[in-house]
Chains A and B, each alone.
Chain A
Amino acid sequence: MSATVLSASGGEPTDAVRADPASKRDLWIVFWIFPIFFSLFGVIFVLLARVIPPPRPDVTTDQKVQWFAAHATTIQIGFAAVCVVFGGAAIANGYVAYQMKRMSSGSTFAYAYMGSMAVGTLPGLLLVALCFLAATFRPREPRITALLYDLGMLSFNGSLGCFATGYLAFAIAILYDKNQIFPKWLAYVSIWQIVTEVIATQMWVSSAGPYSWNGSIAFWLAVIVFGFWLNCQGIFLKFATDRQPAGTRPVD
């Protein structure tokens, strides 16, 4: 079967003939990395590294040092694991960008999404791992350890612009898409993501209360909306993969 057909593929009637699944193997491999990576992410960041939910900003230097001491082992295991598996984020986001290319709205926002997510991975995911690994690497002056605590949390929870840009690209692309790769309401959820992120920027200002990096508004509300959005994105990524005709590729 010739697979060099270049088609602006996308939505087709739901009664389309299912093509040979083996020929979509590459899509499925990449798709499954999405939930696998985010599950690992959850286990590592919640159970091992203990940064979701985040440790408090309104503590003393000594308390920060004690926090690192109490969790050093799991932090090291978890974040060393992050150093190995964080490439899954690139694959997950790359695959979303790929599906976005199948939209009739063109490649512009697919590339914008890819760009902003690829850039955002460093401050928004990896930097906390690197700072906390440095903090637990050797005993240091308390003020330096406390610095790494703040640095890690402020970048992890506070790197919002990159992702807001990505979500905006995602939302706009969906709203203009006539190939129905993703449902329209997912665009609205993406916009809520942006709103919660814009509000969460205040965590660089407040060290206590609802707008601090562990606050009810800047953290909890934002992470609940994020969790909902991520699950929706994953589910509809699967539907989009289901519906993509085998042997097709997006417009170059």
Chain B
Amino acid sequence: MQILAEAEELPKTTNIKTQLVALWTSAVSALILLIAFIAFPGFWPPMSPRLTADEVASFYRDHTTWIRFSMVTFNLCGIMLLPFFCVVVVQMKRMASQSQAFAYCYLSAVVSGATLFALSDVFFAAAAFRPGRDADLVLLLNDLGWIVFIAPVGMILAQNLMLALAVYLDKGPNPVFPQWVGHLSLLTLFAMLPSACAAVMTSGPLAWDGALSFWLRNGAFATFTVVMFFVVRGAIHRQAVVEGVAR
């Protein structure tokens, strides 16, 4: 996107620019998060809920460094995706045929959801903090970390529901997002929904290491976020053109 020379100094250009900054800083954060995700030994393969306390404790003892590295990174960069979702809120507020109620509910859900990610990170980090801790306590922390990471999908579901409804009701000549974004949101919603069972199942595809609760859930969320990056970029561009800021 090329900002027009004559629009460089206009106040309304700063709105476009900050959205772009939010977009790109979130992209960088997402990349760093991906590195942290790959670095956490507990994801390759995902730790089984059926490991005994001793096995879990020795896992934390044997991989302390990489666990700590990944958890510190998650801690720093996890919430840094928030600006990206805030750009989505800003774009939702631009939808002409709506009262903006969806946008505010979306924001509420994003904030609440972010607190969960932060919490699961704390549990994993605490489990790795004292290698000599009693095994049954390390098991507890590990359980809590996994359950909090995988199972409470409700906020993401609420976000995606709000976005899908907003897109579907964004009637008029200039929709902010294309209609298929609504379909994708709902698809992601249904892909992530079953992983709530990870708080209950200890084996099978619904357990926190299973094909549905781990791979499908996280894959769907990552895919959705990456796709939305491009969608939002396009929306910002269209906004800039409409406002005479870019060509």
Using CB atoms and an 8 Å cutoff, list the residues of chain A in contact with chain B: 3-4, 23-27, 29-30, 76, 79-91, 93-95, 97-98, 101, 114-115, 117-119, 121-122, 126, 129-131, 133-134, 136-138, 140-141, 144, 148, 244, 247-250, 252
Chain B residues, CB < 8 A from A141? 136
A80-B196, A138-B202, A140-B136 are known contacts. Are A26 and B156 too (CB-CB below 8 A)?
no
Whether A87 and B156, one on each chain, are in contact in the complex, defined by CB atoms closer than 8 angstroms, is yes
In the complex, 25 of the A-B residue pairs with CB atoms within 8 angstroms, ordered by the A residue number, are A3-B97, A26-B101, A26-B166, A26-B169, A80-B151, A82-B152, A83-B196, A84-B193, A86-B155, A87-B112, A90-B113, A90-B158, A94-B107, A101-B104, A114-B111, A117-B108, A118-B111, A121-B112, A121-B115, A122-B119, A130-B199, A133-B199, A144-B136, A148-B140, A249-B99
Taking chain B's interface residues, is the majority helix, strand, or loop, or is none over half, making it mixed? Answer: helix
Whether A98 and B115, one on each chain, are in contact in the complex, defined by CB atoms closer than 8 angstroms, is no
Whether A97 and B108, one on each chain, are in contact in the complex, defined by CB atoms closer than 8 angstroms, is yes
Closest to B144 in A: A134
Would you call B214 an interface residue if the criterion is a C-beta within 8 Å of the partner chain's C-beta atoms? no
| Size class of the B contact interface (CB-based, 8 Å) | 35 or more
Interface residues in B152-197 by Cβ distance below 8 A to A read: 152-159, 161-162, 165-166, 169, 172, 193, 196-197
Shortest CB–CB separation between residue A15 and chain B, in angstroms? 22
Closest to B99 in A: A249
Whether B96 and A4, one on each chain, are in contact in the complex, defined by CB atoms closer than 8 angstroms, is yes
Taking chain A's interface residues, is the majority helix, strand, or loop, or is none over half, making it mixed? Answer: helix
Using CB atoms and an 8 Å cutoff, list the residues of chain B in contact with chain A: 49, 93, 96-102, 104-109, 111-113, 115-116, 119, 136-137, 139-140, 143-144, 147-148, 151-159, 161-162, 165-166, 169, 172, 193, 196-197, 199-200, 202
Q: Other than the known A26-B165, A30-B102, what 15 A-B pairs have Cβ atoms closer than 8 Å?
A: A3-B172, A26-B169, A29-B165, A83-B153, A87-B158, A87-B161, A91-B105, A91-B158, A91-B162, A98-B101, A114-B108, A119-B111, A130-B144, A136-B200, A138-B49
